[in-house]
Amino acid sequence: MYLSILIFPLLASFVSGFLGRKIGVTGSHIITCSSLVISSLLATVAFYEVGICGSPVSIHLFSWVDSEFMSISWEFLFDQLTVSMFIPVLYISTLIHIYTTSYLAEDPHNQRFFSYLSLFTFFMLLLVSGANYFVMFIGWEGIGVVSYLLINYYYTRIQANKAAILALTMNRVGDMGLSIGFFAIFALFGSVDYATIFSLAPFMNETAITIISLLLLMGAMAKSAQIPLHSWLPGSMEAPTPVSALLHAATLVTAGLYLLVRSSPVLEYSSTALLIITLVGATTAFFAATCGLVQNDLKRIIAFSTISQLGYMVMAVGLSQHNVALMHVVNHAFFKALLFLGAGAVIHSFADEQDVRKMGGLIKFLPFTYTAMLVGSLSLLATPWLSGFYSKDLIIELAYGQYSFTGIYAYILGSLTAGLTAFYSFRLISLVFLTVPNGIKNVYLNSHESNLAVIIPLFVLALFSIFFGFVFSDLFVGVGSDFFGNSIFINPNNISIIEAEFSLPLLIKLLPSILSLFGASLAIYLYHVNPEFVINLTDSSLGRNIYTFLNGKYFFDVIYNHYFIAASLKTGYTISKVLDRGVIELLGPYGLASALSNTAINIAKLDTGVITTYSLYITLGLLSLVFLVFAPILIDTSLLSEIRLIIIYIAALFFVLLPNLNKTL
């Protein structure tokens, strides 16, 4: 049963991809959706058996690499962490398959799209269920490749090409760090199995553990879009909306988080790595929220919100609260998929317009979509008793409960980010649904609610966004809950859940909620009652500079293009021209051959047939001989005694070769 959870999406992908012409569009819809539904049901059973009944399953298929003491197997581990990741991955993937049947109904390449989606789901399941780092790495690379294919789905658009290449290359930077991390793990532990590594971690050198942790973090930073490897995620919004919902909100970007949470027994023994992880997460959360304030593309606003929430998750990992990080991963997957699918419904009904400045007043035309997006937004800004509240607010409280520099840093930035999140979420709701209509009349007349295939996924995700946190919070993050068993390790010195729950001042607990309420109210006020204030902000040079800075995403792209990409291209050009073409040609086979032939020609030219030239040669030879014989008398030759002949011969060779070299250059 456990392996069939993985195999169903793979078979569906193969059938839809390779037999697309035989089964047709409807056939590929039915096969992929039904396979995903079956997988989801099996994953629910697995969650009950493994998670609630507490009986993890390990499946060893066969040996893969067996060389000296390196033994890597095709092995799968279905423990509490794996089945907890199965739930959001499979449920959301199933709903997005159903949603896409309507969303891309007019697209001529449905079979290819559904094949990619199912293949992505398979690789994601492979990633979370592998029992060693190598099986995980195959899933990791697989989702990277499928992400490239899906971002580049409309491959005739140059913008899609650029976004896909950027996503792939930036992830390669992270994968490089991750690969070196795996080499370091094997060098230190002699194994890549989770069980071996995690049981040996406490006995290892802390510096080595720190290096490994930071290398794993590098992989996670690229995949989970943390500063400074974040700039691919907003660009990947070029993909169709279902891709943005599945990959760049719910599943692919959480792979980096899964890696960190899975490696918790290693991370917990390196306080330095945890400190850096906290700083990276908190900084990313704040950075992305400030950028989201001034975006005008509907999907990019939600993309920056995703980076911001991923920052919260990474921050939770750095604070050693791995179970809370996982809870936020699951909650965020549901409400962010809801937001993206709602945005897709808006774009689809509004003649594919994505600029929020050209919308407005859609609450009358799309009441259900409005409700769904409102639920998603409220859950996102941790409205009490919605899903996001049970993990996001807890992360901020746990940060303060650490009573350390990084804890306070994370708390302050986390609280500010909560306020900013509320502001841009309600800015989006205001500009799209509530303000005066700013679009074209004809588009409004033709806009309408989508059909059932879109409404059902939105409805189900809205239910999850409201109730999931309430139902499952005690299981995942309750005080004293042993749900995760041995799948997650938290160093006893780092447990701060008791302080966070019972000893914080009331104001500290309520501050994020107060700031959220303030941010939401301010957005409603500024975009309804007093829109002139926002317009007048850019009149002053300071306001214009701040706007430019935030809208330019802190100029990360400019810095990368100017200082990294351009510099490396220039270096490559120099190496190509000077080293490859220049030095290697002069000193390599071509240079040697031409030097020898030209030397022979030059020596042959000495034979002029003129008697005076010959007499000159004889005189020069005689002088050289006399010099060699009488040199000890003429000069002090203690240093030159051995090498004077060599010097003369080299000098002679130089004079003969000089015209030849000039000719070659």
Q: What secondary structure does DSSP assign to 378-395, as a single string?
A: HHHTT-TTSHHIIIIIHH
Going by C-alpha positions, the residue among 392, 354, 345, 347 that lies closest to residue 372 is 345
- pLDDT per position as a tens digit, 540-565: 888 888 988 988 888 888 888 888 88
Specify which residues 73 forms β-bridges with.
Answer: 63
Going by C-alpha positions, the residue among 287, 163, 299 that lies closest to residue 221 is 287
Specify which residues 77 forms β-bridges with.
Answer: 58
d(CA 657, CA 633): 32
Mapped onto helix, strand or coil, the DSSP state of residue 319 is coil
- Measured between its terminal Cα atoms, the distance across the chain in Å is 72
Query: Exposed, middle or buried, 371 (CB in 10 Å: 0-12/13-18/19+)?
Result: middle
pLDDT of the residue at 663: 55
Q: What percent of the chain has a predicted confidence (pLDDT) above 90?
A: 57
Question: Is the pLDDT confidence value at 219 over 90?
Answer: yes
Query: Exposed, middle or buried, 589 (CB in 10 Å: 0-12/13-18/19+)?
Result: exposed
Dihedral of the alpha carbons of 611, 613, 615, 620, in degrees to the nearest 10 = -170
Question: Is the pLDDT confidence value at 628 over 80?
Answer: no
Query: Exposed, middle or buried, 204 (CB in 10 Å: 0-12/13-18/19+)?
Result: middle
Residue 503 pLDDT class (50, 70, 90 cuts): confident
pLDDT of the residue at 480: 83
Question: Is the pLDDT confidence value at 531 over 60?
Answer: yes
Return the residue matching tokens 């456990």.
2
Going by C-alpha positions, the residue among 664, 523, 524 that lies closest to residue 583 is 664
Of 239 and 637, more confident: 239
pLDDT of the residue at 149: 93
pLDDT of the residue at 555: 87
- pLDDT per position as a tens digit, 455-481: 999 999 999 999 999 999 999 988 888
Q: Are 132 and 47 in contact (CB under 8 A)?
A: no
235-245: average pLDDT: 89
Mapped onto helix, strand or coil, the DSSP state of residue 74 is strand
321-325: average pLDDT: 93
pLDDT of the residue at 107: 84
644-652: average pLDDT: 69
Question: Is the pLDDT confidence value at 377 over 80?
Answer: yes
Taking each continuous run of H as one helix and of E as one strand, the counts in the chain are 31, 2
Question: Rounded to whole angstroms, what are the CA distances from 624 to 129, 168, 607, 630?
Answer: 82, 68, 20, 10
d(CA 662, CA 501): 81
378-385: average pLDDT: 90
Question: Is the pLDDT confidence value at 299 over 80?
Answer: yes
| Range scoring the smallest mean pLDDT among 199-203, 345-349, 592-596 | 592-596
Question: Is the pLDDT confidence value at 660 over 60?
Answer: no
**b vs e for 220-248, b when ≥16 Cβ sit within 10 Å of the residue's Cβ?**
bbbbbbbbbbbbbbbbbbbbbbbbbbbbb
Domain ranges of the chain: 132-539, 553-607, 610-664
Q: Which residues lie below 8 Å from residue 142, measured CB to CB, with a gap of 6+?
A: 119, 120, 122, 123, 126, 127
pLDDT of the residue at 637: 59
d(CA 517, CA 382): 10
Return the residue matching tokens 């973090």.
217
Question: Is the pLDDT confidence value at 655 over 80?
Answer: no
Return the residue matching tokens 């400030």.
290
pLDDT of the residue at 665: 52
- pLDDT per position as a tens digit, 572-626: 998 888 877 777 777 777 778 888 888 888 888 878 888 888 888 888 888 887 7
48-74: average pLDDT: 89
pLDDT of the residue at 9: 94
- pLDDT per position as a tens digit, 118-159: 999 999 999 999 999 999 999 999 999 999 999 999 999 999
Q: Is the peptide bond before 228 cis (omega within 30 degrees of 0)?
A: yes
